[in-house]
């Protein structure tokens, strides 16, 4: 869903770098696959075609945070009479 994003924080040998993969259009989603010491984050179309992807060594990842898109606002404003 548009607005899905995954934030990846890695150790780049003495410094910390942050990367984001975002579903940029309607109908696209972000998928995460792991295997053989590699984590792959891919933006995918409705039909399953990969649009772009990023690969990281699992041993270098400090944090991997998924931010799902929401259909409704998380917080609501409270109005008092």
Task: Give the pLDDT mean for 44-71.
Answer: 89
Q: What pTM did the predictor assign?
A: 0.76
Task: Give the pLDDT mean for 48-69.
Answer: 91
Residue 37 has pLDDT above 90, yes or no: yes
Residue 68 has pLDDT above 90, yes or no: no
Count CB neighbours of 11 within 10 A: 13
Please say whether the beta carbons of 45 and 51 come within 8 A. yes
User: What are the pLDDT digits (tens) for 9-32?
Assistant: 999 988 999 999 988 888 888 999
Comparing CA positions, the residue from 42, 50, 51, 45 lying closest to residue 8 is: 42
Sketch the domain layout of the chain as residue ranges.
Answer: 5-67
């Amino acid at each position: 869903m548009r607005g899905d994003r995954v934030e990846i924080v890695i150790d780049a040998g003495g410094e910390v770098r942050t990367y984001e993969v975002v579903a940029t259009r309607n109908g696209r989603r972000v998928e995460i696959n792991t295997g053989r010491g590699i984590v792959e984050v891919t933006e995918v179309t409705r039909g399953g075609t990969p649009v772009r992807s990023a690969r990281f060594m699992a041993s270098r990842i400090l944090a991997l945070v998924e931010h799902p898109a929401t259909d409704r606002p998380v917080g609501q404003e409270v109005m008092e009479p």
